[in-house]
Structure 1
Amino acid sequence: MTPETKARQQIDQKLGQAGWFIQDMKQLNLAAGLGVAVREYPTDSGPADYVLFVNRRAVGVIEAKKDSAGENLTVAEAQTERYATANLKWRKDNTPLRFLFEATGQIIRFTDNADPAPRSREIFHFFKPETLDAWLAQPDTLRRRLAEQMPVLPERNLRDCQISAVTGLERSLALDKPHALVHMATGAGKTFTAITSVYRLLKFGGAKRILFLVDTRNLGKQAHQEFMAYTPPDDGRKFTELYNVQRLASPNIDPHSQVCISTIQRMYSILSGEPIDESAEDVSLSEVQQTAKQEKFVRYNPAVPVETFDFIIIDECHRSIYNLWKQVLDYFDASLIGLTATPDKRTFGFFNENIVAEYTYEQSVADGVNVGYDVYEIETEITQKGAELKAKEWVDHRDRQTRKKRWGETEEDTAYTGKELDRSVVNVSQIRKVIQAMKTAVETQIFPTRKETPKTLIFAKTDSHADDIINILREVYGQGNAFCKKVTYRAEEDAESILSSFRNDYNPRIAVTVDMIATGTDVKPLEVLLFMRDVRSRGYYEQMKGRGVRSLDGDSLKRVSNSAEGAKTRFVLIDAVGVEKSLKTESRPLEKKPGVALKDLLQGVAMGSRDDDTVLSLANRLLRLAKQLDDKAQVRIEKASGGIPMAELGKGLIAALNPDAIVQAALATARAKGITRSEDTLLPEEIEAARAERVAAACAPFDQPALRDEIESARREREQLIDHINLDQVTFSGFSEQAEAQAKAVIQSFADYLKQHKDEIAALDFFYQQPYQRRTLTFDMIEDLHERLSKPPLMLTTERLWNAYARVRATQVKGSDSKRQLTDLVSLVRFALGLDGELKPFADEVDKRFQAWIFRHNAQRGTAFAPEQTEWLRLMKEHIASSCSISRDDFDYAELADKGGLQKAWGLFGKELDGLMKEMSEELVA
């Protein structure tokens, strides 16, 4: 058999599988079926190898070549075109044929001449006649619709990075690029972005069906939920009310489905004929080692032809598509759209370096979409060095599968390394030491103010290892079963319900997993990740880290972690196995210098330290601090920076180091000098000069000492150091000479401040002026004075001043054991100025004045206030004691509102009320 004849036989077989009737010219019968392929059809250019007829109409041509011509098959395109434009014998219509194929027994290339810029592409198999018939019935091809008919994207409810991704993808599709990569950081809304594109491709692009490919069943379920929740911007109905979405659980694709969600494992099973193990869909393919014996090649399935899908969206495309399972993507004639947070070189290569959108982890932190992270290391001797069990030692021997134990002697000396822990040898002490170290670190250094354990995820090596960790966790923390749970595919409890509780409820506080929560699963309240397993795959490690990066608002975090204050600002990666050092990761912590104080970073930048580590560390601190500060502190910093908010200062530092922007700046500088440069010909010194200029501009605000001081001051106001480590004991009770000297210094600095600033501060003006002008004292004035005194360098809080006077003038100070109120500052100022001979709580003075006032008032009236009126006057007096005054608006506060508020008070006092309030505010405070 000649090579040409063998190739023709294979082409005939493939055409038959796709539903074509193959005929020689002599047996021509166009009524045989919908699609007929006629061999050696005569044309005025010679006989065509095959002419394709659909519904008796000539629509296409196949140029057949022997297999050895496969590598040069594109050379045959001119020959195919010649037959397509030739006159066919017995054909009345001489319009050029639309569908052009070149084929060997192994390779098929196809061109649709109705496309805007017809371009051949390789396809796995011939199309069915019904497909060509449907395409002929459409006024435009899919590629023409993508190039010419896609409307402008509505930007409402979309983040900038999502807008960039959708528009970038549509530009790529309009240019008929077969592969496109969307690189978006975890938490930036990749799935939401993808669904937005799917909706537009179905509605405006006229796509027939789209495959959404995932690599675990859990991720498929998650994607399906997002499709059900999605409401398009131009229609009030949910996506699933507009289009049929099928989550594939069998080999049968619903002919009416427009979106099909499937694991790549199941699709591989359908196309290879290899039965699927249902549990295989629960494990990420990055964790599965495929052996040569397991390999099955994908073959044509008439029930799922190659044209089944117009687009394939590959979620988390960094993981599963480069080995055996790549055949699934090769099979379908579809544009491939990859979504990933962690691309590597293989990813860029597979997608032809066509990155249609890029949104990095560092950018997402700057925008507040994600949070930064710190790395905390735990090392133990056995983790580092291993250990040795001597022969004849009596130890437990445990079956790996059943976990049944027997007590017996070791047969020989057994030395093991840290890498063998929890596989061949389990050292319970090693697990316990790591857990105890984590507990201590979290409680004393990482989250010292928390009353409950922050939501924590622990990555274990194996299911058995996870069980050991669970048992020791409950022991070390002294907690019950609800406190920590195992979340793996083999867990006896329903993994989904545990995961839901971990995400939304108080318990469990800690989850232990092997791989189920390693990728793609959102648990936003997560604040601690403990690695007790090493990870070889760079991308997989990045995905595991990604579980902690999601930002979360303060109210949502507080719902599951009651003592959390404010929004989630970071997470901490606790490395107990050297995972951070064992490989080079793509995204590094923004915090490059966790041991360097903020004030030193600020000073370093001001002095000219502009290396990446310093600049990124400062950016991370500023972004984190910006989320913690109140509005007053934010305003002060913005004022000191010349109008730049704290978060923008941090973002500016990150943006200054953007490599692409640096290159563009260098090119612009070269152009301005009249020098022609491309990215490839830029000199290193030109790039460095551009970087230096950008970084200098971003660092310029920190040249101002006032800004540096304001930022450091704000940090000190916000943070407290809680020392749980150093235990104290009483060695002496009483004031020492040194303590008394310090107290005198505090009092003196207070007196000096009052004298120096009496003309600047309204509250001091009140005390220095004539008695009648004192009556303008307000709580705002006291609050302003308190803020000025308590800030560095004075640090003269009301409590500290009171204690100083108690040490030095004990006989003149009353109420040292009572809780301080802000208004006690009034008493402190009066005492310091000599207006009062005794220092006592402001509320006590108000009480004394109230007794005198009400006695005098009753005497002047001739009749005493009624009991209910007296009770209300006492309530008003209590408010004055804590706020310096009272007005109608104050009746909205709880202690007054609960008793009936302004309406009740007006009913008791009538028109007298306003006069009484004014009189009390003056008499009780003055």
Structure 2
Amino acid sequence: HRGYLLDKDIDEEGLNFKNQLDYVSKYRMVLDYFDAYAIALTATPALHTTDIFGKPIYTYSYREAVIDGYLIDHDPPLIIRTTLNEEGIAWQAGERPKVFDAESNTVIELDELEDELQIDIAGFNRQVLTENFNRTVVKQLVQVLDPDGDEKTLIFAATDEHADRIVQYLKEEFRAEGILVADDAIQKITGKSYNPQEQLTRFKNEKYPTIAVTVDLLTTGIDVPAICNIVFMRRVKSRILYEQMLGRATRRCDTIKKEVFRIYDAVRLYEALEEYTSMKPVVANPNLNFSKLVEELPLIESNERASQQIEQLVAKLQRKKHRMRTEHLQDFQLYSGGETVESLLASLLERPVADSIQRITALPRLWAFLDTLKISTDRVYVSEHEDTLIAMEPGYGLASRPEDYLNNFTTFLKENQNRITALNLVVTRPAELTRLALKDLLMTLAQAGYEARNVKTALKAVRNEDIGADIISIIRTLAIGSTLESHEVRIKRAVNKVRALTNWNKVQQKWIDRFEKQLLAECVLQLEDLNQSPFSDAGGVEVLNKVFDDKLPLIIQAINQQLYQA
């Protein structure tokens, strides 16, 4: 899970002057305390996991669970494109931007800018308040969400205040559309909510709320099967956290006949995601304060390592400088003996290492002041820039258009037809395709970026109609040009031809009907499948073969042959 940190790496020279306990993960310390075998089960494998427990001995992925029918798949994310999330928010040199100061609860106009100020989508609703962007997105959401339906919606906001505004805008825009919304149909559920646990229980078990807006409270650890819509109005850089958020909507919900869930992306999330990496930083330091860095300086033996320590202290001061206000800068000069932040930084970098150490260690009150200085970050820009909707369209990864996505998929099929065994079976001998081979193929396609549902969605967009074809038919059409027809039509035609072969008795007809039903659900039916659920309860192959007068293998073979004949 995400609730623990890695051990910190300490360089060899640091062993001489650093406290090694500062570098040991508290999570690791707890595990090491008990003399017992440690067994880990995680839904979010990461470097944290393998660093402590070693490589996994077994994995079962989300994609496998979808293919096996335990979890629900999603359509390609619907990207909400607006002028502001494409171009960002900018103030030109000479303009006077406004900021909201949470401490005084007022909007303040700043001095004229010397340079252009640009804030991209990652800073929306954190660094800058932008009502026009939020309203533009909400107006689009109002067109696709039903606040009184059975489906639940989960919206991820950037901050608690942002969540409040989204709730307000949703209620206002639904009313503007003439849609009556119960007051408790749309709610904020965050750690700052009154009794959030009770709200969570209601979100899961009761009709209202149908739309919940959260920040981090609902990213993990809740199970609300009726969630059918996930909306991102905040950036997420971690792919693990992103997948945890999506996990809120993957549960099956047969009571509302949930077949798929939808993702609405208003913050161009795909381009922000960081791929998982097993690379560690060369030196991962714990969060040392100024006084600790200064305390360690005289203990360092080499000039090179001491120079690195000074650079770390300077970088820390540089970061703090940008958030210091006039009164803080005045106090800084008081504790530094009259030096400004800029002059002290310059002198520390220009002096010889020994002189810098002497100067730094002579200012203990300054470093103590900086450690205790808590600078409010509640001042954010207020944008009045206009925003307009450009489009809401499916995202296909690197391919921006469905046509490009299908062309790339066709190229992939033709290049790999003779390399991937299951793909070769689909193209050349589809009647021999097994459930296991199909599962392997679907996993391979997903790893290459071609999930079956995404392919179907792209095909529907290109042809402007929903043919209802399964992935087997789509592959054969794109690879060898076979006629594309719906999954249901193809299967019913094949089974009807088998029904017409002879005069079946009523029991045999019943089982042929069940074969058809299974094919409609699974795409594939081979003899060995009859020893699995739902046929195993009736005795499997041994019993069914007697029902069909020892001709069961021929009947299954005939059905499979007819499936791929026009």
TM category (shorter chain) comes to: 0.3 to 0.5
Structure showing greater Rg: 1
Task: Give the TM-score normalised by structure 1.
Answer: 0.30
Q: Which has the higher contact order (CA 8 A, sep 6+)?
A: 2
Task: Give the TM-score normalised by structure 2.
Answer: 0.47
